[in-house]
Amino acid sequence: MSEPTSFDLVIIGSGSGNSLVTPDLEGGRTAVVDGGPRFGGTCLNVGCIPTKMFVHAAEVAATVRDAARFGVDATLDGVRWRDIRDRIFGRIDPISDGGRDYRRDADHTEAYLGHARFVDDRVLEVEITRPGGGHEVGSVHRITGDSVVIAAGARPHVPQPVLDSGVPFHTSDTVMRIEELPASMVILGGGVISAEFAHVFSSLGVRVSVVVRGGRMLSAVDAEISAAFTDLARAQWDLRTNAPVGAVRAGGEGVELLLDDGSIVTGELLLVATGRVPNTDDLGLERTGVRLHDDGRVVVDEHGRTDVDGVWALGDVSSPYQLKHVANQEARVVAHNLAHPDDLMSFDHRYVPAAVFTHPQVAHVGLTEQEARDQGYDVTTKTQRYGDTAYGWALEDTTGLFKLVADRRTGRLLGAHVMGPHSSTLVQPVIQALSLAGPGGGPTALELARGQYWIHPALAEVLENALLGLEVAPHHDVTADYDPSGEEVDGSG
């Protein structure tokens, strides 16, 4: 092997890590190492962006099926799966290829399309596994960096019984590119990925069964929302809760899951959606001083630094939040810190929001009710139904909920938990109120409700009404002259 090639910065991963090459750092030489099947990371290729494009197609289909409820007679004549799939990846794949080519051809960057392993603290060997980066497939390159950023992301976790079974299966990385829609599908897992794909495939006409080890779907969200969503999931899909899998085997329509209670769930296709694990097990980190958490995540401080001088980490490989907006924020912080080592910025993980683009949509930020109680707050909550607002009437909504958690003593918000149409948008004012709070703690619920106009009859009134319904001290009955429909009692509008 020839002498190592030296770079100012080596980035392992082409997702959010790729955005580290800011104008402040463009003067140096940067290597971007990407071991995935496509350049651009999880969000672009197998995560946020394609899944939400599939979700929108699913919601179009669901709207047609539900049209009669609004007095509109419509029929869904068919679903052209390949057209849906090809429209989505026909837009995404060129973006991936363009990002790869840009890093390959730019004067200040070089792309290595292969797997990186550390051989020392800031020394890596990269085995080229696919063409397109300007290096021969199968060749091995040793590179060094004054700074190295580990942004290698995460991958689907597949339980050992599934692996041992020898039964074909899909994960979120592969299922969006299948050739044909199956007649039936079994989804193993009850979290975000399961909920979103159950919505997509059931709306497109697939018979979906969901197998969950625990008692509820979306068990990580507020218990009231999780319970309500689980009830709605039972009405949409063949949902099996408290159902550990004893064995997986071929048979029936294609695959059979033998549950511990003796029942059997069958489907043409098996989708494994049991979480994701950080890509740290084959990076050679044991040859460095980089430490790992018990779950495999890289240990970093609030600035993104590992225990090894000059080695940083960000995103799913190190963060407790496997969310693109978190990875992007961490990338901005690390990019600043690389360029300004004497003026370090810190990650801000105080109020990390998240959304689940399922049916109905779910979103949340801040503390759950139980977390707030566990932390000793004098907790007060308000759960406002979408259907008690004017726009909720227009939607004929019977299931939407907006739950607020607040400190009764101060009147300040602690968290928001939403289930229903447009949840990911409706929760944003709470994210803003929490995140931009000053030393005094930000606006009280009453100040947030009455300190601005709320467009009537927009759906955001569900948040306004929830704010007004919180019982906080000092007590003032602001709802006495207020109708939940959004109209003032005196009719002034």
Pick the closest to residue 136 from 144, 145, 127 (CA basis).
127
Provide the strand spans (E) within 262-378: 264-267, 269-272, 276-278, 311-313, 354-356, 362-366
d(CA 414, CA 371): 10
Asked about 364 being catalytic, the answer comes back as no
Strand residues in 342-400 grouped as ranges (E): 354-356, 362-366, 379-385
Structural tokens at position 217 = 């779907």
In this structure, the strands spanning 362-366 and 413-419 are antiparallel
Q: CA-CA distances (angstroms) from residue 209 to 176, 195, 240, 272, 327?
A: 18, 11, 8, 12, 32
CB atoms within 10 A of CB 304: 29
Q: For residue 116, what are the β-bridge partners?
A: 126
Options 293, 456, 475, 476, the catalytic residue: 456
What angle do helix axes 48-65 and 192-203 make, rounded to 10 degrees? 40
DSSP 103-161: HHHSTTEEEE-EEEEEEETTEEEEEE-SSSSSS-TT-EEEEEEEEEEE---EEE---HH
Written as one letter, the residue type at 369 is E
Catalytic residue list: 456
